[in-house]
């Protein structure tokens, strides 16, 4: 059994409700919903939530800790938005927000345009992209999608990297 799910989970100021197999978390910044697996049972007691399994299957024990983490992330996200920052490094590398798309110029012969998901707000200052949203999964996935376009290379460090990411540099060619 998961150590996360053994104790009841405190949700702070968020309002948690369970109905028709859906978990709903409401807070000051927004509302999140998630479908509950049939082998998981979630009970709400005021500001405390307990997660248990309905049967003793291996799958239900694996999902127990997963749903505990999802619930903690949802409760934290509706009270304070999650944020990721990406940095563009390279000569001539630019980024801009055009309508509902983020447009990157990162050394290809064409610009790369990505649609911004509905639940995420993207802001750009020079070569810094800041992504904010209540859903931790969607913010992290969109940041990873942007980084995948041009990951940092080890010789000059050019590319898109996270704000606190350390790019391990290689020496390159030596002069004879």
Look up residue 37 and give its DSSP letter: P
Nearest alpha-carbon partner for 107 in 115, 95, 96, 123? 95
pTM, two decimals, is 0.90
Domains defined for the chain, CATH in brackets: 3-79 (3.90.930.12), 82-162 (3.90.930.12)
**∠30-31-34 over CA atoms, to 5°?**
145
Sign of CA dihedral 52, 56, 60, 62: positive
The model's pLDDT over 98-125, given as tens digits with 9 standing for 90+, comes to 999 999 999 999 999 999 999 999 999 9
The model's pLDDT over 4-18, given as tens digits with 9 standing for 90+, comes to 677 899 998 999 999
Asked if residues 70 and 136 have their Cβ atoms less than 8 Å apart, the reply is no
115: enclosing H helix or E strand: strand 112-115
């Amino acid at each position: 059994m998961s150590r996360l799910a053994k104790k009841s989970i405190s949700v702070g100021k968020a309002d948690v409700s369970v109905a028709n197999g859906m978990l709903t978390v409401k807070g000051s910044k927004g509302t999140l919903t998630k479908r509950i697996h049939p082998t998981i049972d979630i009970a709400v007691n005021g500001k405390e939530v307990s997660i248990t399994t309905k049967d003793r299957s291996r799958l239900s024990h694996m999902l127990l800790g997963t749903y505990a983490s999802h619930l903690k992330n949802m409760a934290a996200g509706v009270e304070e938005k999650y944020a990721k920052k990406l940095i563009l490094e390279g000569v001539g590398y630019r980024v801009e927000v055009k309508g509902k798309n983020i447009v990157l110029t990162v050394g290809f012969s064409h610009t790369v345009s990505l649609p911004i998901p509905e639940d995420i707000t993207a802001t750009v200052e020079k070569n810094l992209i800041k992504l904010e949203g209540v859903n931790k999964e969607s913010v992290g996935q969109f940041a990873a999608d942007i980084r995948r376009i041009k990951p940092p290379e080890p010789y000059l460090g050019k590319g898109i990297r996270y704000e606190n990411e350390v790019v391990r540099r290689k020496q390159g060619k030596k002069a004879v």
